[in-house]
Amino acid sequence: MRTPYVLAGALAAGLASATAVRFSLAPAALVLGLALLRPRLGLACALALTGWWWGSERLDALDRSVLAPLVDTAGNAIVDVEEPPRRGRYEVRVRALVVRFAGGSVHEPVLLLLPGRRAPPQGARLRVLGTLRAPRDYERAWLRRHGVHVELRASTWRVVRLRGGLPDRLHAWLARASTPGLAGERRAVLQGVVLGEDGGLSDKLRQRFRASGLYHLLAVSGGNVVVVAGGTVGLALLLGVSRFLAELAALAAITAYVLAVGPQPSVIRAGVAGALGSLAWLSGRQRDRWYALLVAAVILLAWNPWNVLDPGFQLSFAAVVSIFVLAPRFRHALEGYPVPRVAADVIAISGACGLCTAPISWLHFHAIPVLTVPANAAAAPVVVPMLGLALLAAVLPPLGPALAQANGWCAAYLAGCARLFGGLPGAQVRSPAAVAALASGVLLAAAYAWRRGQRAQAGLSPHRQRPAEDRAGRGPPARPDGG
């Protein structure tokens, strides 16, 4: 195994290990002493210990709370809205940062609950009269992993001002400029594809996306970054810009897109991979996708080691690994069947991702979508055009309304795919017996595919069968006597 892989993996493993055991000097000294006996392992062990120490420090910082001792206390607060709000039936939920509470200076994230369905914009500073409450039992662990230890239930609130930071401005611009003239469901679907936000979707449609296996399209992933970077480079080259400046523009576009969307695990991973790809071209070094994946994991775990237990982190990285490892093999298995190349690629990628993410979905959500492959095959023709048209509408305002109207039909088609496949009987399995039956079917299919592949390989072996032209060009074997 190549040394850089080992070093990056050791650092990531050290960061993740802090979630199980916090850093302690005694075992660290023992591990370092053993590593000195094997100098080749010394650097890897040092990086693992560094990651373990840093991860423990970050977890201690996330566990500290000034507001937790003040639970059941009411008061005035100044809070900053840090992400797009999610509208519920009776309240609005949003992650916010408390700047002041009851006259004291604070800097701590909370889950802000606002009455009614009116929601403030992302980046707004609010003056809130509310009460601190302990989180509900079913979401306490999840909130703690994000540094949130209390809920702030507001009785009244008003917007003081807009924060006006660069990420908030980019988010507001992209949300507005990518869907001019659209409203309702089509706008909500487009914002899901472009910005990874599903707050505008109805609960029923959101559930259809999950049941059909299309919910990943509402989360920003590597495909979005590829479209952003590739579109930027292509547009720059069409304008006569040199490739060097085009790659620099792609770096700037990726950075702006990541800032606009927000620090989601899939966004950070995709952004790091895309940025490393452009930097690799600029430096003249060959791009390595595994390096990009490991660097993204290190960045995410260094910021918050609890990410290793987050479903979004696990699903994102499992999907990418499956694309690297399993999808080419699935694609090879489809050779010889009357399947178009584009459809075969979609089937291979969807099948690989569905197979690797199914255990994670069952572990966290106790549900596995069964129709992932046909649903993604049906939705694939509109996914990239939707993102491309949205970005073109944002950067070409005169053509924005026309492009948005065309994009609205694509969004309606995608929602129709989710409703069709997500509404079919058995689209999603939720019982252990159904999961066991599904796993048995997958194992039988895998055994059949493996045996078929072995037979095909044996049939092409030179020891079993020689090419026809080789047999025709040779005469009978010579006799020992030379006759």
3 state SS for 185-243 = HHHHHHHHHHHCCCCCCCHHHHHHHHHHCCHHHHCCCHHHHHHHHHHHHHHHHHCCCCH
Query: Which of residues 163, 186, 208 is at a domain's end?
Result: 163
Is residue 50 in some structural domain?
A: yes
Distance of alpha carbon 368 from alpha carbon 431, whole angstroms: 10
Domain boundary among 130, 163, 196: 163
Q: Which neighbouring-strand residues pair with 152?
A: 112, 132
Task: Please check whether residues 76 and 144 belong to one and the same domain.
Answer: yes
Residues 144 and 74 in one domain: yes
What is the DSSP annotation of 239-276? TT--HHHHHHHHHHHHHHHHHHH-S-HHHHHHHHHHHH
Q: Are residues 127 and 57 in the same domain?
A: no
396 within a domain of the structure (yes/no): no
Q: Given 40, 63, 86, which residue is the final one in a domain?
A: 63
- The verdict on residue 341 lying in a domain is no
- Is the same domain home to 72 and 130? yes
- What pLDDT does 111 receive? 94
| 454 within some domain | no
Q: Is residue 159 domain-shared with residue 82, that is, in the same domain?
A: yes
What integer pLDDT is reported at residue 183 of this predicted model?
87
Q: Is residue 54 part of a domain?
A: yes
**Number of structural domains the chain divides into:** 2
Both 91 and 118 in one domain: the answer is yes
Q: Rounded to an integer, what distance in angstroms lies between the CA atom of residue 446 and that of residue 424?
A: 25
Same domain, 97 and 159: yes
Length reported for the chain: 483
Quote the pLDDT of residue 258: 86
DSSP 181: T
CATH of the domain at 150: 2.40.50
Residue 438: inside a domain, yes or no? no
Instruction: Point out which residues pair with 131 in neighbouring strands.
Output: 74, 153
Q: Is residue 32 part of a domain?
A: yes
- 53 shares its domain with 76: no
pLDDT of residue 440: 81
Same-domain status, 57 and 106: no
What is the β-pairing status of strands 104-115 and 151-162? parallel
d(CA 429, CA 391): 36
Domain hosting residue 72, numbered range:
68-163
Are 72 and 156 in the same domain? yes
Predicted local distance difference test score (pLDDT) of residue 32: 67
User: Cα-atom radius of gyration of the chain, to the nearest Å?
Assistant: 27
Q: What is the pLDDT of residue 452?
A: 65
Distance of CA 455 to the CA centre of its chain: 38
Q: Give the tokens for residue 379.
A: 């939705």
Per-residue pLDDT of the chain (483 residues), as tens digits, is 577 788 888 899 999 999 998 887 766 666 666 666 666 677 788 888 889 999 999 999 999 999 999 999 999 999 999 888 888 778 899 999 999 998 889 999 999 999 987 888 888 899 999 999 999 888 898 899 889 999 999 999 999 988 777 888 888 888 899 999 898 899 999 999 998 888 788 889 999 999 999 998 888 777 788 888 888 888 888 888 888 888 888 888 888 888 888 777 677 777 777 777 767 666 655 557 787 788 888 988 999 999 999 888 888 888 888 888 888 888 888 887 788 888 888 888 888 888 888 899 888 888 888 888 899 989 989 988 998 999 899 988 899 999 999 999 999 999 999 999 999 988 888 888 877 887 787 777 767 666 765 665 565 544 444 444 444 444 444 444 444
Within this chain, do residues 13 and 34 fall inside the same structural domain, yes or no?
Answer: yes
Statement to judge: residues 152 and 121 lie in one domain: yes
User: Is 110 part of a structural domain of the chain?
Assistant: yes
